[in-house]
Amino acid sequence: MSSESWPPQLKEWVAKCLGQMTDANRTEAQTELRQVIADAFAAQTLWTTDWGGVQLKSLAPKPPLNFSNLKRKSASENNPPQMSKKAKKALKQAQHAHVSTGSHSSSIVDYNDQLALNRRAERFQREHELERTKQLRVASTKVSNGRAGSVSSNGNTPDEPEGDPNVLDWDKHTIVGTSQEIFKDYLRLTSEPKPETIRPYAVLQVTLGELKKRWREKTPYHWICSQFKSLRQDLTVQRIKNEFTVQVYEIHARMALETSDMVEYNQCQATLKTLYDLGIPGKVEEFTAYRILMFLHGRNRSELNLYVGQLTLKQKSDEAVQHALAVQRALAIGNYHSLFELYLSAPNMGAYIMDHFIDRERTRALITITKAYRKIPVTFIHNELAFDSLEAAQNFLVDHSCASFVDASDKTLDCKAANTTLTEVYESKYRKVGIKGAI
């Protein structure tokens, strides 16, 4: 229970009680004080109790007799010349014994205690004043807002623009673009964006349609990518998060996969995950499958297992997700025959992601094959490892320094010679995985 949540009247009462405490009653009074506050808190009466009328028993006024005795004792101590010689001697002996025990005089203790109590009371008073000032400031702000103008039916004042339903966290600071330019090259923002340079939602919808048309017409990807990044930037600046936003990132991600632009693909995938988590619909299962394949590419087993464990039944029943999970199983058990069949039958754009790690898995498969056989024809490698052509298979063997042929005429591979170099090439070329733009 924090004292910051106490009502001001309670704080004043506590400060008053602390000021009344002395060295003689402090322990008893503090215990009673804490108990009274705890009882009120448990009964939920902190704000309804009239604390000004609450009296602690330990701080109640003492009977007059005790006060008179104390007063007479104080007077006798302050007038030592009236003491008899015998009394003076007894007093000196008592003072000597008191000092010899290492104790301070009662007057010094009382003085220090009183200073501490005063400081504590001042602190409570300052807290009370700060809270009162804060409450006055809040009340003043509410009054000012009330005078600024009536609130419209949608919750905005007449001076504020109307809220955009496409913006999840709309407020008066949300930028609304005014530019009517359909195309705009991407420029990194170095200052606060200006509405006249930002395209509004309606214009951005036209822009996406034109970009898809230009892509079908084989416009160079470099220009298309710049336009998509500019489109994404205008959406971000205006806080637009809806199905259109998801569509923009999904389309750009597919284009990036097709052109092997993994930097932009990973950025789009990261944003899509955030948008999907907000509940905005899109091709969730398709990009879930891509995400699994990217984990396999990066050999990130811990995150892959965690991600797969969180898949919903709907996601697991999707064809693309089932394919990606089958790829995971094939890699886990080293079933290269099944792996390359899955590579050839990948749905959507899964094969584009598999392209980034398929040569690594071909090398692993060849290491296994060359351990099991003495010689094999290149045509077998071409078919088994899913090369596009016989020439592509031969070039792969040359690039991996394992083109050792028993019979050069019919291209029969010498497995024993190839296996030694393949192992070395695998260690140097594929042991480390570098993913551009990984987030």
pLDDT at position 159 is 42
pLDDT at position 370 is 92
Q: How far is CA 148 from CA 137, 156, 159, in A?
A: 16, 12, 9
Distance between CA atoms of 370 and 372, rounded to whole angstroms?
Answer: 5
- The mean pLDDT value for 268-277 works out to 94
pLDDT at position 142 is 44
Residue 112 pLDDT class (50, 70, 90 cuts) = low
Evaluate the CA torsion angle 90, 96, 101, 107 in order and state its sign: positive
Residue 121 pLDDT class (50, 70, 90 cuts) = low
pLDDT at position 25 is 84
pLDDT at position 38 is 83
Six token digits for residue 218: 């084989």
Q: Is the pLDDT of residue 265 over 90?
A: yes
Six token digits for residue 187: 């420029």
Going by C-beta distance under 8 Å and a sequence separation of 6 or more, which residues neighbour residue 159?
A: 148, 149
Evaluate the CA torsion angle 155, 161, 164, 170 in order and state its sign: negative
Q: Is the pLDDT of residue 281 over 60?
A: yes
- Per the rule left: phi > 0, alpha: psi between -120 and 50, beta: everything else, 152 is beta
Q: Is the pLDDT of residue 34 over 80?
A: yes
In degrees, rounded to 5, the angle at the alpha carbon of residue 111 between the alpha carbons of residues 106 and 115 is: 150
- The mean pLDDT value for 363-376 works out to 92
Distance between CA atoms of 43 and 418, rounded to whole angstroms?
Answer: 84
Q: Is the pLDDT of residue 86 over 80?
A: no
Q: How far is CA 202 from CA 185, 206, 235, in A?
A: 18, 7, 11
Buried b vs exposed e over 314-335: b needs ≥16 C-beta within 10 Å? ebeebebbebbbbbbebbeeee
Amino acid symbol at 4: E
Please return the burial class of 3, using the count of CB atoms within 10 Å of its CB with bins 0-12, 13-18 and 19+. Answer: exposed
Six token digits for residue 253: 């991600």
Q: Is the pLDDT of residue 210 over 90?
A: yes
Q: Is the Cβ–Cβ distance between 280 and 243 less than 8 Å? A: yes
The residue that leads in pLDDT, 356 or 134, is 356
Q: Is the pLDDT of residue 98 over 60?
A: no
- The mean pLDDT value for 395-424 works out to 84
Residue 168 pLDDT class (50, 70, 90 cuts) = low
Segment 36-81, tens digit of pLDDT: 888 887 887 877 888 888 888 888 876 655 544 544 544 444 555 5
pLDDT above 70 covers a percentage of the chain that reads 71
Of the listed ranges 83-92, 146-155, 258-267, 386-395, the least confidently predicted one is: 146-155
Residue 130 pLDDT class (50, 70, 90 cuts) = low
pLDDT at position 218 is 94
pLDDT at position 190 is 81
Going by C-beta distance under 8 Å and a sequence separation of 6 or more, which residues neighbour residue 240?
A: 164, 166, 167, 201, 204
The residue that leads in pLDDT, 168 or 143, is 168
Distance between CA atoms of 123 and 198, rounded to whole angstroms?
Answer: 53
pLDDT at position 148 is 40
Q: Is the pLDDT of residue 26 over 70?
A: yes
- Please report where in the chains the tokens 């104390």 appear, as a residue: 70
Residue 149 pLDDT class (50, 70, 90 cuts) = very low
- The mean pLDDT value for 112-117 works out to 61
Q: Is the pLDDT of residue 416 over 60?
A: yes
pLDDT at position 345 is 95
Residue 13 pLDDT class (50, 70, 90 cuts) = confident
Distance between CA atoms of 199 and 385, rounded to whole angstroms?
Answer: 49
| Average pLDDT score, the chain | 80
Residue 338 pLDDT class (50, 70, 90 cuts) = very high
Going by C-beta distance under 8 Å and a sequence separation of 6 or more, which residues neighbour residue 120?
A: 15, 18
Six token digits for residue 51: 């604390």
Length of the chain: 439
Half-sphere exposure of 62 (CA within 13 A, CB side): 11
